[in-house]
Structure 1
Amino acid sequence: MKKAFITGITGQDGTYLSKLLVEKGYEVHGGVRRISQSAMARLNALGVADKVQLHEFDLIEPNNLFRVLRDVKVDEFYNLAGQSFVGSSWELPIYTADVGAMGVVRLLDTLRSVHPETRFYQASTSEMFGLVAEVPQSETTRLHPRSPYGVAKTYGHYITMNYRESHGMHASSGILFNHESPLRGTEFVTRKITMHLAALARGGDAPVELGNMDAQRDWGFSGDYVEGMWRMLQQDKADDYVLATGVTTSIRDFFTYAAEALGLNPDWQGEGREEIAVDRKSGRQLMKVNPKFYRPAEVDLLIGDARKAREKLGWEPSVGIRELAEMMARADYDALA
């Protein structure tokens, strides 16, 4: 039986990855800063809470990392932890860097000391591309991050590459474009949209407030992307891979897909900061722009080129953007029943 350790196991990706590994017969361990019932909500939702072993684990505590990783020898290590909300990284730049950058090198150096044969996965991100140098973005695209989150992730990405090249570790990075699911955190724009639309469809009257409706993202399904993570660590040679759908969608269009799944029909009126969406059937306002949700430096267009993952890993996304929006909207609507 293979053994795996997942940091960020109680998050969206950690939960889907736990389910995948359990189904593949792994003994799954997870690191959490504090073990509580509320932290188990996602694992309970996918029915794997009683199938994983949790350990108190904090990426800013080197002695804690050493003790846990010394005692829990695993075949595969997936680092999915971090301050993962881009918007908060401007308010928490030092913490974001400590966890997202220095936390990665603490993990790698500890593993190099205690179990250097462990295969390591680093959760990199499309936010590293930032002010994009080319469209679409691939593994060789120049990085120009536009947020403290993206800067921290860029360090984590390069230090993973460095430990692979300098110390011969089987260390891979997945440059994942945006991936969502019904388990997505409520602070993320996709889940914010589907939760508010579900409330409106149930009779609510408060429109959702959003920022830049013209921002475009390459959105996929988290369940697909964790399969790609696993496939990276099954390769004989470690490497870096983009995981993406290759389809770009504006926040406005994602909103429309989710609304239509709930029987709402948005009519878009106005432009820029004056833009609103009104339901054609009822006349209720569904959305309004609030400038406070604009980022200090926006990443306007992210679209990934996942040819390398398709060719070398045999990985393909299975859920399209409209299906994803519908899945999330219906899950939030059903949760309000």
Structure 2
Amino acid sequence: MGHYNIRKVLITGIAGSGGSYLAEYIVNNHPEVEVHGVSRWHSTTTSDNLQDVRDQVIMHECDLTDFSSILTVLKNVRPDAIFHLASHANVRTSFATPLSVLNNNIMSTANLFEAVRLAEIDPIIQLCSTSEVYGQVSEEYVPIKEDTPIRPASPYAVSKVTQDLLGYTYFASYGMKIIRTRMFAYLNPRRTDLFATSFAKQVARIECGIQKELVHGNLDSVRTIIDVRDAMEAYWFAILYCRPGEAYNIGGNTVIKVGDFLDLLKKKSGTKIPSRIDPNLLRPADVTLQIPSIEKFHHATGWKPRYSFEESVENLLEYWRKKVREEMVLEHSVGGGR
């Protein structure tokens, strides 16, 4: 089972779009592992993400910006591994609320690492970083390797660079077993601020006749695509096989322009999907070319994606078609009861 014997894990941000898929992966594939998660006591919008595994995970109310609460959880749980996924992760919103994003993401990570140190535990820690740390990359650096210069282009990216550097610093200074993973674009049905999810949700709403046109931002960006379920399995592999102190790119093999992805969804729909650009969806500074080299991660872990691009797209569309239908039934039943 790799370099470590993992019997108890703690997932920060477990109720979020990524953390919930990670919890599902561990529960379904490693039933011998006890799964703990922390979720902010005032978080009310993501509880449904855990509906399939809620009875199989142990939840702890905790706000990572409150040092005492995370220290208490760590002393009680004493996990063998920590997956640190909790962050404010909406890139565009970070331009509107930069101080909130910076304060939350940086201090929550600093609190977590300090709490681990003071709790006198020695878990392996996966720090969920992002391709956004590289910023706008020139073609000479493509495919992007882990030693590509870091040039963050948003307040969110700055917060993730700081998390990344904190991870290395606590490894170098205190010997903490921290692995930094830099995830590139993925298809995640539960995260509506991602371009692909936003498109799929709007397509489903137009198909049901409750929205007239699809709105979008910049369509010229180039991304590689990976399924969120593959991404979460990759995090598990990282914990088992990657070297503490190192950074690893994780991403898919399918390279596609955002506009071409939208065209693909339109073709998959049996309904005409009118679309237009919404200036409010454009970022003050955008990152338009993100193609990773995942050679280092593959060499360390042997990991390969399980889901094809076609399977991922179908899963995304069907998730939102089902969800929109459920919302319509609920709205109708509520309206009929008046």
* TM-score of the alignment, normalized to the shorter chain, above 0.5: yes
TM-score (norm 2): 0.88
Q: Distance in 1 between matches of 2:262 and 2:142?
A: 24
Q: Which residue of 2 aligns with 1:120?
A: 125
Residue identity matched to 1:327: N
Equivalents in 1 of 2:313, 2:68: separation in Å? 42
Q: Please state if 1:105 is matched with 2:110.
A: yes
Q: Which residue of 1 aligns with 2:332?
A: none
Matched, 1:96 2:101: yes
Note the 1:47-58 alignment, pairs <5 A: 47-58=52-63
What is the alpha-carbon distance in structure 2 between the residues aligned to residue 13 and residue 205 of structure 1? 27
Match of 1:294 in 2: 282
Q: What TM-score, normalized by structure 1, do the two folds share?
A: 0.88
**Distance of aligned partners of 1:233 and 1:166 in 2 relative to their CA distance in 1, 3 Å threshold:** same
Partner of 2:321: 333
Shift of 1:37: 7.0
Report if aligned partners of 1:7, 1:79 keep a CA contact under 8 Å in 2.
yes
CA drift at 1:95:
1.5
**How many Å apart are 1:288 and its aligned residue?**
0.4
Shift of 1:125: 0.1
Do 2:78 and 2:121's aligned partners in 1 also have CA atoms closer than 8 Å?
A: no
Alignment match of 1:28 (pick from 35, 44, 59): 35
> Is 2:229 the partner of 1:241?
no
CA–CA distance in 2 between the matches of 1:227 and 1:41? Answer: 21
Deviation at 1:204, TM superposition (A): 4.3
Distance apart, 1:217 and its partner CA: 1.7
Contact 1:262 1:329 in 2 (8 A): no
Identical pairs, percent: 27
**Matched AA of 1:119:** I
Alignment partner of 1:254 is 2:242: no
Aligned partner of residue 212 in structure 2, secondary structure: coil
Task: State how far apart, in whole Å, the 2-side matches of 1:182 and 1:297 are.
Answer: 25
Between the aligned partners of 2:242 and 2:50, the Cα distance in structure 1 is 30
How has the CA–CA distance of structure 1 residues 28 and 205 changed in structure 2, closer, same or farther, with 3 Å as cutoff? closer
How many residue pairs are counted as aligned between the two chains? 315
Partner of 1:230: 236
Between 1:253-262 and 1:159-168, the stretch displaced more is: 253-262
Unaligned stretches of 5+ residues in structure 2: 1-5, 326-338
Match of 2:20 among 7, 10, 15: 15
2:11 is matched with: 6
- What is the CA-CA distance between 1:334 and the residue it aligns to? 2.6
User: More displaced, 286-295 or 151-160?
Assistant: 286-295
Residue 335 of structure 1 aligns to a residue whose secondary structure is helix
1-structure distance, mates of 2:45, 2:155: 28
Name the residue aligned to 1:267: none
Per the TM alignment, residue 123 of structure 1 is displaced from its structure 2 partner at its CA by 0.5
* Structure 2 counterpart of 1:75, from 77, 80, 96: 80
Summarize deviations over 1:257-300 as a string: whole Å, max 9, x none.
Answer: 22222234xxxxxxxxxxxxxx4xxxxx5210111211000101
Please tell me the residue identity of whatever aligns with 1:115. E
Matches within 5 A, 1:130-279: 130-133=135-138, 134-183=141-190, 185-235=191-241, 237-238=243-244, 239-264=246-271, 279=272
- More helix as a share of residues: 2
Q: Which moved more, 1:71-80 or 1:91-100?
A: 91-100
1:208-265, Cα deviation, whole Å (9 max, x unpaired): 111111112222111101111111111373232110114321111111222222234x
Verify the 8 A CA contact 2:249 2:296 in the aligned structure 1: yes
C-alpha change, 1:104 and 1:37, in structure 2 (3 Å) is closer
Q: Does 1:309 align with 2:297?
A: yes
